[in-house]
Each structure stands twice: as C-alpha cells, then as structure tokens.
Amino acid sequence: MTRHKIPAFLLCAFSLLFSAPGLAHKTAAAQTRTVRVVNALAAPGATASVAIELAAQGNENSAGFSLTFNPAILGNPQAALGSGATGATLNANANQAAQGRFGVALALPTGQAFAAGARQLVVVTFTVASGAATGATPLGFGDQPVVREVAGVNANALPADFVAGAVNVAGALASVSAASFTGTMLAAESIVSAFGAKLATTTQIAASLPLPTMLAGTTVRVRDGAGAERLAPLFFVAPGQINFLLPAGVAVGRATVTTTSGDGSISIGAIQAAAVAPGLFAANANGQGVAAAVALRVRGEAQTFEPVAQFDAAQNRFVPLPIDLGPEGDQVFLIPYGTGFRNRSALSAVSVKVGGTDVTVLFAGAAPGFVGLDQINLGPLPRSLAGQGEVDLVLTVDAKAANTVRMAIK
C-alpha cells in the first residue's frame, strides 16, 4: 500500500489541538469527578464494609454525602477514614439511620487537595440482618442529613457524579477442619470442610493431581488479612459441602473464604488462620470415636500392618478393634492420620498420650503421596498399656490440642 503524506492543513490542526493552552484547559474543565460506592459482599448476621471512592482530579479538598439503604437489611452504620484520606477530618451523622440514611462529611486541612486518581475516602461498616435474603441490596446517595457535594481548596463547589452501588448478601459459610470438624483455627495446607447452601450445582470429586481449583463450576477463594487472595485446590464439591485445601502461604490471622457456584450463587464466611491447627481423623469421619489409624507390628524381621477399627453393622459405625501388643519380643507402633500440623515448630513440640501414658513421637508431618494429609508415627506402644481396653489418644502440637480420638488395647 502506498504511503501518503498527511496534508499540511491537518498537521497544523493537530499541532493546535495538542499544544493550544486554551483548548487543553477547556477539555480538562469539562471532565467531571466521580464519587462512587464500591460494591461489597457480606453474609447474613455478619458485617459489610463498604468503601466510598473519589475519582479525583487533584484539586478536591472535601466531600459530603448521605448514603441511602434499606434499614431492614443494613443497620448500625459506622464510618472510618479510607486509605486515600489520611489526615482528613471525618464527621458522621447517624441520626437518620433508622430511616435508612447516613451522613458523611470529610475534609483535608486548609489548602490541601486529594492527589489525582482513585482515592478511598471512607469505609462504612454495616451490620447485615441475620435473616437477610441473599441478593443485592442497593446503596445510593441522597442529601439528608448531609448534602451531596465536592469542594475545592478554595471551598468552591466542584462538579461531581455520584454513582450508587450495592451490598451483595451472600449465603453463610462455615469452614471447619475436615478431620476434627471444629473451626476455631485452621492451618495453611490443611484439609477444610465448608458447609452452606447452593455451594455447587452437582456433586463432583477431583479425579487427578494436582487438585483443580474449579469443580462443577465451583471455586473457593481465600483472602487473608494481608489482602492476598488465592484460589483453593478442591477435593470435592456438593450443594451442601465443599472439601478444599487451605492454600499455602495464607497469612496468620483472620481470613475470608468465598465460594462461587456454577450458577453464580455466592457464600462467604470468616476463618482464623494459624501456623498449626492439629486435627485427627476418625474412622467414622466425624472427628469422634475410633481413630483413623493403622498399627504396625514388628516381629523380628517381619513387619505387618493391622487395622485398629472394624465396622459394627448393628451400630452402623466403626468401633475400636483391640490392638494385641503380643509377646515380649513384639513392637507395636501406631500411625494416626490428621491434618493441620505439618508446619509444627519442632518434633519436640509434638506430644501424644495414649491412655494417659506418654508415647514416643518418631515423626509428625506430611503423609507421603497425599495432599493435605498429615501423619504421626508413634511407638513402640508401652507394654504397660496392655489390658487397658478403650483409651483416649490425645495429641498436642505447639501447645494446641487436637480433638481426642479413641483406640482399644487388648
């Protein structure tokens, strides 16, 4: 294709467009700034933190507005300065909160202006009604008790658009250790069970390694207190339950777990992430009763694995199968399985009592070939335990106790 020269009159026009001060000033003046609600996500009975942002041009000193909301769903509004409003003075007016109106006014010191760009002015926290239905509840702008306005450094009114948003009320999600079924604390790289409603559109089990981060259209995201968000590997999804791996690297402290189903249904819940959170699996998959474990018998050069549980059809559950410590020359070791303790500080920080008797801990860490599964190698079991019958197995890791499971010794 032949390249043609740009006509001289067009070059002249372009030159005027990009260099004429009057035109450049006029274009900038025509642009309006925006104050907007950043959409938030929260579960019934929890709190919703809603950020209000200013798309600043660099000459704004103050802003005021009233948020309008449904008081049957959102209540107890409280305001705090946002990350982009350091040094500003904040005033909040909750006198009309019962009518669904909450006023906010903030201003930088005299003569100062917000830097150009997106600036978080304020974060308003609401309590979401425990009976709130899932779905979006709108958050708009009004003029009572505080009039909408943005002002410049000379207290002059500046043109601004106010853009509404919403709090999306998600389903409630409860996450617990898949071993102990308690959720006081959860450790990175541990197996977690999450319970809720509409978590998946069908039931599906991961069929290969590495584990997928999406099953049947469902995903799980974990956002830690440091602001890092990670997709969680999934073992299993069903409408009422998801088993997932709490991702490595999750910061210690409060974290948020958000599930999104294939049909768009969202559920959210909070967890407390910890370095270790020991849990022991039970044969009945409920964190109680007989341990999910095997016994290893060493007799001379021979080694044999033996079960410690058997299924009782009459009770429809697993019950302890007594371990026979055997003749004097036998050594019996115990290998219970759990999760949440592979990141222990030291082997010396792991202790186990069986029937109230200390048992030597030979190993405590990741079970080879399994994702998220941990194991403890104990023993040999002291011969003083012979004839004890059903006894408790109590594990403590870094001063944190696991759920108590049981075993039997003949």
pLDDT digits (tens, 9 = 90+) for 99-156: 999 999 999 999 999 999 999 999 999 999 999 999 999 999 999 999 999 999 999 9
Contacts of 64 (CB under 8 A, 6+ apart): 103, 104, 105, 106, 146, 147, 148, 149
pLDDT of 311-353, one tens digit each? Answer: 999 999 999 999 999 999 999 999 999 999 999 999 999 999 9
> Is the sign of the CA dihedral 89, 74, 145, 160 positive or negative?
positive
CA dihedral 174, 179, 181, 182 (to 10 degrees): -90
Q: Could you tell me which CATH class the domain 31-169 is placed in?
A: mainly beta
**pLDDT at residue 367 greater than cutoff 50:** yes
Q: Which residue type is seen at 167?
A: V
Q: Indicate the angle between helix axes 21-30 and 8-19, nearest 10 degrees.
A: 60
Q: Taking a C-beta distance cutoff of 8 angstroms, is the pair 218, 205 a contact? A: no
Contact assessment for residue 286 and residue 316, using Cβ atoms and an 8 Å cutoff: no
CA distance 259 to 218: 7
CATH superfamily entry for domain 171-274? Immunoglobulins (2.60.40.10)
Q: What pLDDT does residue 30 have?
A: 42
DSSP code for 275: S
- Asked if 242 contacts 212 with a C-beta cutoff of 8 angstroms, the reply is no
Task: Answer whether residue 8 shows pLDDT above 70.
Answer: no
3-state secondary structure at position 270:
strand
Read off the pLDDT band of 31 (50, 70, 90): low
Tokens encoding 186: 């959860």
Compute the distance between CA of residue 342 and CA of residue 368 in angstroms, rounded to an integer: 12
Nearest one of 76, 97, 95, 172 to 130, comparing CA atoms: 172
The CB density around residue 265, as the number of other CB atoms within 10 Å, is 19
Calculate mean pLDDT across residues 152-163: 96
Identify whether the C-beta of residue 186 lies closer than 8 Å to the C-beta of residue 161.
no
Digit-coded pLDDT (tens) for 348-366: 999 999 999 999 999 999 9
Q: Where are the beta strands (DSSP E) in 184-308?
A: 186-187, 191-195, 204-205, 219-224, 229-231, 234-237, 241-245, 253-260, 266-274, 279-280, 293-299, 302-307
Q: How many CB atoms lie within 10 A of CB 337?
A: 18
Read off the pLDDT band of 184 (50, 70, 90).
confident
Residue 42 pLDDT class (50, 70, 90 cuts): very high
Q: What is the pLDDT of residue 32?
A: 77
What mean pLDDT comes out for the span 17-30? 36
Please state, for a pLDDT cut of 70, what percent of the chain lies above it. Answer: 92
At residue 191's C-alpha, the angle toward residues 190 and 192, to 5°, is 115
Helix then strand then coil, % of the chain, to nearest 5? 10, 50, 40
Of 407 and 16, the one with more pLDDT: 407
pLDDT of res. 29: 40
Q: Give the C-alpha separation, 265 to 94, whole Å.
A: 32
Alpha carbon distance 94, 325 (integer Å): 71
State whether CATH 1.10.15 applies to domain 279-409. no
Instruction: Give start-end residues of each CATH 2.60.40.10 domain in the chain.
Output: 171-274
- C-alpha–C-alpha distance, residues 14 and 122, integer Å: 42
How deeply is 179 buried, as exposed, middle or buried, from its count of CB atoms within 10 A (0-12, 13-18, 19+)? buried
pLDDT of residue 314: 97
Residue 159 has what pLDDT?
Answer: 96
